[in-house]
Every structure is written in structure tokens, then in C-alpha cells.
Amino acid sequence: NPFAGLVSHLRASWLSGKTRPMEYRVAQLEALGCFLDEKKQQILEATASDLGKAPFEAELSEIFLCKNELHETLNNLSHWMKDKHVDRTLAMQLDSAFIRKDPYGVVLIIAPWNYPIHLFLVPLIGAIAAGNCVIVKPSEVSKKTERLVAEALPGYLDKDCFAVVTGGVQETTRLLENKFDYIFFTGSSPVGRIIMTAAAKHLTPVTLELGGKNPCYVSDTCDVTNVARRVAWGRFFNAGQTCIAPDYLLCTIEMQEKLLPALREAINDFYGPNPRDSPDFGRIVNDKQFQRVQRLLGSGRVAIGGQTDEAERYIAPTVLVDVQPSDPVMQEEIFGPILPIVVISNMDEAIDFINSRERPLAVYAFSSNDKVVNQVLERTSSGGFCGNDTLMHVTLTSLPFGGIGNSGLGLHHGKFSFDTFSHHRGCLKRGMGWESLNAPRYPPYCKKKFGVIQATSKVSRKNDCTLL
Amino acid sequence: NPYAGLVSHLRASWLSGKTRPMEYRVAQLEALGRFLDDKKQEILEATELDMGKPSFEAFFSEILLCKNELNVTLNNLCQWMKDEYVDKNLVMQLDSAFIRKDPYGVVLIIAPWNYPIHLFLVPLIGAIAAGNCVIIKPSEISKNTERLVAETLSCYLDNDCFAVVTGGVPETTRLLENKFDYIFFTGSSPVGRIIMTAAAKHLTPVTLELGGKNPCYVSDTCDVTNVARRVAWGRFFNAGQTCIAPDYLLCTIEMQEKLMPALREAITEFFGPNPRESPDFGRIVNDKQFQRVQRLLGSGRVAIGGQTDEAERYIAPTVLADVLPSDPIMQEEVFGPILPIVVIANLDEAIDFINARPQPLAVYAFSCDSKIVNQVLERTSSGGFCGNDTLMHVALPSLPFGGIGNSGLGKYHGKFTFDTFSHPRGCLHRTMGLETLNTPRYPPYTQQKMGLFTTTFEVKRRGTCTLL
């Protein structure tokens, strides 16, 4: 296996204990910060080349949000690393009972192309913080960024413990034949299944950040202008190539009539009369994706946009109406700058529509009436939820980010990344003496002994408490 | 598929929202408590028939520990169920940011035969507490307990939401073809791989509580009498059929010489001069396991015990000396009342020995010198750890219980069970108004907007802190 040598080199480094001291981890994390600072310009250029990513968007998603995660981790690492002492029973009052955060060992992070720095770097922060060695496999689809990472990142990190591997499906398949101690994958659900099946051979725990069709319900009571802006922003950021983008809108026919002019105005405000000329609107990453997304324009009726340019891989910010649940645009995750509107009669219908489909990464609900937002939250199931906005819930490092069902398993961001890449080891340290405390548990068994065991280790039922 | 109807019935019940209210969950959990109280005698009899489990041991492991978990859960459920509010950045001060604990849906719990009530009931407590519907698959090997559970449990729980399925490998395979929203498996590592592979097809998250060879290091500085009693107790409890039992001992030749008479004395104290006549010593569960364990007696030299009786499936509490790493007994989990001693020269050799093998469920270290205990903890990797005792770390509901590597993935007990069966959903609820707060993020992009955005969203690096 072409990667066996690399994996065993990293495993030897991990077994040597090199990554355990906090000072080591902090040094590697600070080096990651230097990478983001010193290579900022190259990152902006590479992502602009790969997906026409607007520098503002690249700076925000690939640099700024990553630095937030880095700072959050550096600010709290010593606290997160500490043994966590836990409650003890009567019999264990003299003992030490705590949770030790152990690294897993050698971690594999596989990243996709849409946020090609962020989606390997944020998990990498957690993996390093937790004391692991890491192999990073950036996406071969975002070619310029892949080359930048492969050439530049090793210059910042300890080569004994961290490596970048490049390649496509074949190389990844061979890489996965090796035993890893944790695999973190961001990408599509079908590939997620392949990753988990490969992981199962080695009983390797996984986090899978996958995708889905994130519904966006807009109730009849809302500020149409604000809704249009927030939805348009979330849909067209990165030319729609965002796993948590609002994928389709659910609203009544009356709301659709109000939303369309508001959406038209928002798009105009953002990108001008011809978005193709705007420096702030991205492009589709490659021809295959371009053709896939372009095909979806055939669903329903184009109400806004719809223009394309194959040479530039440009698809205009588009809104489709008269979309049927059976249309092609409703059969797959769009991952492009198209917003279909599906008309429903009321909130119950919207909720049933959402619940009859695979659980998405995010559910969005817009309403001036908090009860409506809460209903949608209560009665649906998704990775995450945002009321009255899109995307923003994932910018808070204190909220866990992850999917459920087809949209994934596991979570990360902030402390959750550290926890993801740590094994929580339950530890009990007892005294060598005090053997008389143990006598009741030994044979020969008798009722009296049992009475003592019960008295010292029993957990009693407390009085009822009410859910506040 | 013979189970498709059952699974979809439970899924419909879950989608109806029946399991969501706290009152419902409390009622089901209290019913489980009544099951343990009403059926206590039947449980003791069934486990005695299945593996000669002494009543004291059955009461402790199958009733008392389960009731403790039940009470911890009932005492804390309303706290655990509450939305957990999280830190917000400057921009979100007026928003609501919290983690909502959502159920997964339909959960499958597959239990083994060695603690046949405990190992389905403790996960079941967490699954119910978290609001799921559950299918329980008890082991077909512990036949009497299987029948008891299949016939009586359904009288206590809501049949719309909870079911017991019986059968062997073919039935379990067909059951696994269905889509579950979480699978909790306790059993062997090879079967764990099969379970995870089946789960991967549906992207179903799993917890796998597997096995391994739990090493028990005894340093030269220790109270030999106490060590012998604690190790013998852990090894011979349930006739050795315990996933966290000390599987083999590592010590110097000098310590072996001291331990042998102490172990002999402990065994005599516990079980009398002829353990076969003791009511406090168990039997092997079936002929296949009996023959498997009996074969292991050929390794090394029998220093204590070694007697067997096939008709009773009795294997005497046995200690083997002169065991080599290549011996059969060192190639598989013993899961029987045999304690092999492997001689090593010193602590470093013991640690290397442990680290050269798959990560076990537990590592044990005995020493009067707490530095040595800490060294073993620091330099090895395992599911859990106990210093100066065996088994006891899992009796504390505040410690997580789970494996790593070959010994499993995921964890449970106490709140960790509730967390295992809940999806932590990151939620942000923003206001419909205050749109001006959002303008810095919208195109057209400018330096000024970036400045504003970063000021309000930035996580700054604080001054360094030292690891206490």
C-alpha cells in the first residue's frame, strides 16, 4: 500500500508521545495561525481561481472563521485538556474519579472543495488540540488550493506528525485501506457511506459531515424585505456551493407573490443588474458540476435570473417558481445558485413536507411569530436550526455543527472539535489499603454483605422535579 | 423483510411525537423500575439457569446497578432535557442560541449473554430518556433470560414504541437490513465490524461496546494480599465472563512468586477448598464456550485450579504461570475463570507489552506508588482505567464507559447514555428585525464592511494560561 509507510511513521510519532504536551500542541496551532496569516493572499488567489470565490467571502470563510476557531481553541486548551473530576458514591469518597482526555492516535481528515481551507483546517485544529497525528486529504477538485496546501502547509507543521496527501478517488481508496484511529469526512452522503464502510473494517470511529436539501419555511407573517435579503445571501454565497445553504423555499402562494419582487431587489442590491459583472458573485467549481446545476434550471419556471455562461461556469442568481416535488431540482441537493420555491397551503403542510424527506443538515424557518418558529423547530429533525436567518448558526463556535441521518453523524466546531478527537477515558484511582471497605463485595456472599453494598453504592430516587 | 412492519410501526409512533413529553418518558422509565422489582426473582432464576450466576452477583449486576442507572436518570432527566444556552458573540446578543436535545428516532439495542438484563436495560434507559422508540434484541444464548424478557417486558412498556425481537444470527441479519436511527451493540469485535458495516449502508450512528484482553500490571511495590483479592474478585466474578475482567497479569518473577500463595488464599477464602461446591461461583454459559475456554488451560502451567467438569460446564478458578505471549491463551479474550500470568522485567516492558497489542476495554495497574499508577495511565490507551482495583470504575454512573480501537466506539452510563441517544441540535433564533446589524455581511463587499464584520464577530486570542 503506497501510504502504509506514511501511516506507520505517524503512528510511531504518536506512540513516542511527542504530541502529548500542551506546549507542543500550542506550537503547532500557532504555526497554523502563521500559515493563515502568511498565506492569506495565496489562499484568496487560489480560491478565486478554483471557484471564482469573492475575496471578501474567502477572507471571511477561509481565514476569519478559521482564526476564530484557532483562538477559541488556544484560549481554552489548557482547560479542555484537564482531567475532569466527577461525582463519587459513598464507597468511593477516598478515591480519585475523573475523565482523562486521551488522543485517538492517527487521524485522517478528508475535505471537500467548496470551502477548501476551512473544511480541513477547522477539524485539524481540533485534532491537533486533542493530541493526535493527522493526515490531511484536501480535495483534488479545487486544484489550486490543493496545490497550495500540499506545498505550503508541511512547511508550518511538524512533518513527523502531520502530512498532506493528494489524489483522487483511487488514491483515497488506497489510503482508506490503512488503519486510522479516527476518520473525519466532509462531503456527499453516497461517499459518506463508502467512508463508513471502509472505517468499519478497522472499527474506526467517524464523523461524517454530509449534505441534504435544507428547507427554508417562510410564514405569512414576516418582514418580506428582510427575509428576502437573508435568504438570498445564504443561497447565493459562494454561488450556492454551501452545505448549509437554504436549498428550497416553502411558502404559500400569497407569500411567493410578495417574496419575488423582494428577492429580485435583494439580488439587484447585492450583485447589480448583471451579476456576471459583479466581483462579488462566484462561479461553479468545474464543468461537471456546472452541467449538473444547469440541468436543474429546467424545473418549474424561471422567475429571476436563469442566465448561464459555460466558458465562465457562470450561473446567474436564479429563483424558480411552479416547482413540483417531482421536479429534478427537488431530487438532489442543488449546490448552486438556484432557489426553487415550492408552494404549500400552511405550516402543517410545510412540516409534513420536510418530515417526509431525508433529514437535512439545517432547517430554516422565518416568522415574526416566535411560536411558528418554535413549532418548526419542535416538529422537524435536522442537524441544526436557524430561525429568521440562514447560515449564521454555524458561525458561533459555542454551537455544535453536525448532521443527522443522511446529513451525517458526529459534530464539531469549538470545544466539540476537541471532544470529537478525544477519547474520554473513565478513570478510577483507589488506595492500596482500606481493604475492609471492599470486604462486603467478596464471596462467600450473604445477606448482610449485600445490605452494606446497597447502602454504600445505591443511588436513591429524589423527589420529582418539573420541567421548567 | 420480516421486521419491516415492526420498524415502520415504531417509526410512525415516533413521528407522532408520542415519546417527546417528559411525563411519557418518566412513565416508561418507572415501568422499567417495576419490571426490575416485580421480576426480580425470575431474573435471578433465569440467570442462574443460564450461567449458574450466584444470586448475589445477579442482584448486584442485573438489578442494583440497573436501578442506580434508572434513578440517576429519573433524578436528572428534566435537567438533561432542557435546552442548553451557549455563549454568543457581540452581534447575537439579542438572539437565542442553544443546544436542543432531539431524539434520533428508532433505536436498536443488541445485547450479549453475560449480563443479559443489564446490558440491554442500561442502554434502554438512556434511549427512552432521550425520547426514542426502541427495539431490543436480547441474546439467544442466555435462553432463559431471553424468554423472560420476550414474554414479560412488553407488559411494562408501551407496545407502540418498544418491542423485543428474538432470534439468532439469521434473524439479526434480517433485522439489520432495516434502517435504524441508532444502533447500540454490545458483543465481540468481529461481530462489531459486521454491525458497523450494516449500519454504514444507512449512515446509522453506532455505539459498539466490544472486548479485548484487559491487562493487569502489578508492580513490585504493593500489598500482595489486597492485590490478590481484588484481582481474583474481578477475574472470577461471573466465572470470568465479564468484558472488563482483568484478562491477564503482568508482573516480575519475584512478584509472581509472592502473588501465587496470595491468590491461592484469596480463592480459598472466596469459594472454599472446592469451588465446585460453592454457591458463589458461576458456570460457563454453554458447551461451545466451555470447550473454547477449556482449551486455553493448555497454555503455560496450571499453578492453581485447572479442574473442569463438562456436565456442569464447571471450570475451576485457575491461575496459569509460565505463560508465553505466543500461547493460545494470549491470542484471544479469555472470558472464563482463568488468569494467566506473563512475566516481564519491569514497568517499561509491561507498558510496551500493552501498547504492542490492540487497545483494550480496561487497563489495570496496581502499585503503592501512585507515580507508577500514573505512568501506566499516561503511557497506555484503553477504554477505561482503574488503579489498585478491578471492575469498580464502571460502577460509577458519573464515569463514561466505552472502548477505543478494537474494544469499541462510543460510551454510556449515567448522563452519557442520554447523550449517546440524543442528537445535539445547534439552534439559533434571531429576530425578524434589526436588519442593519446584518448589512456588513451583504454584497457589494468593501473593506469597511469586512472591518465591521470582524470587529463584531472576532474571537480574540487571550493571554496564555498555564496547565495547572
Interval A158-169: pLDDT, tens: 999 999 999 999
- The conformation of residue B74, written as its DSSP 8-state character, comes to H
Q: Cite the DSSP H helix spans in B337-466.
A: 347-355, 370-379, 415-420, 447-457
- The conformation of residue B412, written as its DSSP 8-state character, comes to B
Maximum pairwise Cα distance, chain B: 88
B442 inside domain: no
- A140-160: b or e for each residue (b if 16 or more CB lie within 10 Å)? ebbbbbbebbeeebeebbbee
Residues B169 and B254 occupy one common structural domain? no
Query: CA A271, CA B174: separation in Å to the nearest integer?
Result: 55
Average pLDDT over residues A227-255: 98
Query: CA B2, CA B179: separation in Å to the nearest integer?
Result: 13
Residues B43 and B107 occupy one common structural domain? yes
Q: Over 70: is that where the pLDDT of A111 sits?
A: yes
A453 inside domain: no
Q: Over 60: is that where the pLDDT of B132 sits?
A: yes
Q: How close A305 gets to chain B, by Cα (Å)?
A: 17
- B16-29: b or e for each residue (b if 16 or more CB lie within 10 Å)? eeebeebebbbebb
Q: Confirm or reject contact between A443 and chain B (CB < 8 A).
A: yes
Would you say the C-alpha torsion A306, A307, A311, A314 has a positive or negative sign? negative
Find chain B residues with C-beta within 8 A of A56's C-beta. 443, 445-446, 449-450
Residues B107 and B222 occupy one common structural domain? no
Q: Please report the DSSP string for B129-197 in residue order.
A: HTT-EEEEE--SSSHHHHHHHHHHHHHHS-TTTEEE----HHHHHHHHTS--SEEEEES-HHHHHHHHH
Contact B133, B105 (CB under 8 A): yes
Would you say the C-alpha torsion B440, B441, B445, B447 has a positive or negative sign? positive
Identify the closest residue of chain A to B401 by CA–CA distance: A426
Overall residue count recorded for chain A in this entry: 468
Identify the closest residue of chain A to B385 by CA–CA distance: A427
Q: Confirm or reject contact between A455 and chain B (CB < 8 A).
A: no
- Residue B209 annotated to the active site: yes
Average pLDDT over residues A283-295: 98
Give me chain A's average pLDDT, please: 96
- A418-437: b or e for each residue (b if 16 or more CB lie within 10 Å)? bbbbbbbbbbbbbbbeeeeb
Q: Over 50: is that where the pLDDT of A347 sits?
A: yes
Residues A147 and A225 occupy one common structural domain? no
Residues A82 and A180 occupy one common structural domain? yes
pLDDT attached to residue B466? 54
Cell 484537564 sits on residue: A82
Q: What is the CATH number of the domain that holds A366?
A: 3.40.309.10
User: What is the number of domains present in chain A?
Assistant: 2
Of the candidates A402, A433, A452, which is a domain's last residue? A402
**3-class SS string, chain A:** CCCHHHHHHHHHHHHCCCCCCHHHHHHHHHHHHHHHHHCHHHHHHHHHHHHCCCHHHHHHHHHHHHHHHHHHHHHHHHHHHCCEECCCCHHHCCCEEEEEEEECCEEEEECCCCCCCHHHHHHHHHHHHCCCEEEEECCCCCHHHHHHHHHHHHHCCCCCCEEECCCCHHHHHHHHCCCCCEEEEECCHHHHHHHHHHHHHCCCCEEEECCCCCEEEECCCCCHHHHHHHHHHHHHHHHHCCCCCCCEEEECHHHHHHHHHHHHHHHHHHHCCCHHHCCCCCCCCCHHHHHHHHHHCCCCEEEECCCEECCCCEECCEEEECCCCCCHHHCCCCCCCEEEEEECCCHHHHHHHHHCCCCCCEEEEECCCHHHHHHHHHHCCCCEEEECCCCHHHHCCCCCECCCHHHEECCECCHHHHHHCEEEEEEEECCCCCHHHCHHHCCCCCHHHHHHHHHHHCCCCCCCCCCC
Residues B7 and B85 occupy one common structural domain? yes
Catalytic residue among A243, A251, A333, A386: A243
Query: CA A208, CA A196: separation in Å to the nearest integer?
Result: 8
pLDDT attached to residue A464? 57
Average pLDDT over residues B150-177: 97
pLDDT class for A465, splitting at 50, 70, 90? low
Contact A442 B233 (CB under 8 A): yes
pLDDT class for A91, splitting at 50, 70, 90? confident
Residues A192 and A222 occupy one common structural domain? no
Contact B435 A102 (CB under 8 A): no
pLDDT class for B465, splitting at 50, 70, 90? low
pLDDT attached to residue A468? 47
A63 inside domain: yes
Cis peptide before A215 (omega within 30 of 0): no
Q: How does pLDDT run across A197-224, given as a tens digit for each residue?
A: 999 999 999 999 999 999 999 999 999 9
Of the candidates A200, A423, A466, the beta carbon closest to that of B197 is on A200
Catalytic residue among B57, B62, B69, B209: B209
Residues B279 and B143 occupy one common structural domain? no
Contact A384, B371 (CB under 8 A): no
Residues A219 and A337 occupy one common structural domain? yes
Query: CA B16, CA B11: separation in Å to the nearest integer?
Result: 9
Q: Which of A398, A434, A438, A447 to mutate to test the interface with B (most CBs of B within 10 A)?
A: A398
Query: CA A339, CA A218: separation in Å to the nearest integer?
Result: 13
Query: CA A96, CA A85: separation in Å to the nearest integer?
Result: 8
Range of the domain at A398: 215-402
Query: CA B190, CA B204: separation in Å to the nearest integer?
Result: 18
Contact A441 B384 (CB under 8 A): no
Residues 6 or more apart whose Cβ sits within 8 Å of residue A100? A83, A424, A425, A427, B377, B385
Provide the chain B residues 360-379 that lie in CB contact (below 8 A) with chain A.
366-368, 370, 373, 377, 379
A118 inside domain: yes
Q: What is the CATH number of the domain that holds A200?
A: 3.40.605.10
Helices A224-236 and A253-271: crossing angle in degrees, nearest 10, is: 60
**Higher pLDDT, residue B314 or B91:** B314
Q: Over 90: is that where the pLDDT of B456 sits?
A: no
Average pLDDT over residues B7-26: 97
Q: Confirm or reject contact between A15 and chain B (CB < 8 A).
A: yes
B452 inside domain: no
Provide the chain B residues 28-57 that lie in CB contact (below 8 A) with chain A.
54-57
Which of A352, A320, A345 lies closest to A248, judged by CA? A320
Give the SS3 label for residue B45: helix
A459 inside domain: no
Contact A428 B370 (CB under 8 A): no
Average pLDDT over residues A319-335: 97
Query: CA A308, CA A333: separation in Å to the nearest integer?
Result: 19
Contact A396 B223 (CB under 8 A): no
Query: CA B107, CA B204: separation in Å to the nearest integer?
Result: 10
- Residue A427 annotated to the active site: no
Q: How close A277 gets to chain B, by Cα (Å)?
A: 12
Contact B230 A438 (CB under 8 A): yes
Query: CA B460, CA B444: separation in Å to the nearest integer?
Result: 27
Cell 436564479 sits on residue: A318
Which of B80, B74, B70 lies closest to B100, judged by CA? B80
Q: Confirm or reject contact between B274 and chain A (CB < 8 A).
A: no
Query: Predicted ipTM?
Result: 0.96
Residues A327 and A308 occupy one common structural domain? yes
Q: How close A429 gets to chain B, by Cα (Å)?
A: 4
B24 inside domain: yes
Contact A358, A405 (CB under 8 A): yes
Residues B33 and B123 occupy one common structural domain? yes
Percent of chain A with pLDDT strictly greater than 90: 95
pLDDT class for A430, splitting at 50, 70, 90? very high
Q: Grid coordinates standing for A362?
A: 439545517
Of the candidates A102, A393, A454, the beta carbon closest to that of B426 is on A393
- B146-177: b or e for each residue (b if 16 or more CB lie within 10 Å)? bebbeeebeebbbeebbbbbbbeeeebeebbe
Find chain A residues with C-beta within 8 A of B438's C-beta. 229-230, 233, 389
Q: Over 50: is that where the pLDDT of B369 sits?
A: yes
Q: Cite the DSSP H helix spans in B305-446.
A: 347-355, 370-379, 415-420
Q: Over 90: is that where the pLDDT of B197 sits?
A: yes
Helices A118-129 and A65-81: crossing angle in degrees, nearest 10, is: 10
Give the SS3 label for residue B363: strand
Contact B445 A411 (CB under 8 A): no
pLDDT class for B91, splitting at 50, 70, 90? confident
pLDDT attached to residue A458? 86
Q: Confirm or reject contact between B453 and chain A (CB < 8 A).
A: yes
Average pLDDT over residues B334-360: 98
Q: How does pLDDT run across B324-333, given as a tens digit for each residue?
A: 999 999 999 9
Which of A59, A35, A185 lies closest to A123, judged by CA? A185
Contact A239, A285 (CB under 8 A): no
Residues B31 and B56 occupy one common structural domain? yes
Q: Confirm or reject contact between A405 and chain B (CB < 8 A).
A: yes
- The conformation of residue B51, written as its DSSP 8-state character, comes to H
Query: CA A138, CA A70: separation in Å to the nearest integer?
Result: 19
B454 inside domain: no
Contact B86 A399 (CB under 8 A): yes
Query: CA A316, CA A319: separation in Å to the nearest integer?
Result: 9
Find chain A residues with C-beta within 8 A of B75's C-beta. 459, 461-462
Q: Confirm or reject contact between A93 and chain B (CB < 8 A).
A: no
pLDDT class for A467, splitting at 50, 70, 90? low
Residues 6 or more apart whose Cβ sits within 8 Å of residue B69? B121, B122, B125, B397, B413, B414, B417
pLDDT class for B296, splitting at 50, 70, 90? very high
pLDDT class for B464, splitting at 50, 70, 90? low
pLDDT attached to residue A107? 98
Q: How close B373 gets to chain A, by Cα (Å)?
A: 8
Q: How close B203 gets to chain A, by Cα (Å)?
A: 6
Q: How close A15 gets to chain B, by Cα (Å)?
A: 8
Q: How does pLDDT run across A127-140, given as a tens digit for each residue?
A: 999 999 999 999 99
Which of A429, A19, A97, A92 lies closest to B374, judged by CA? A429
Would you say the C-alpha torsion A180, A182, A183, A189 has a positive or negative sign? positive
Would you say the C-alpha torsion A156, A158, A161, A163 has a positive or negative sign? positive
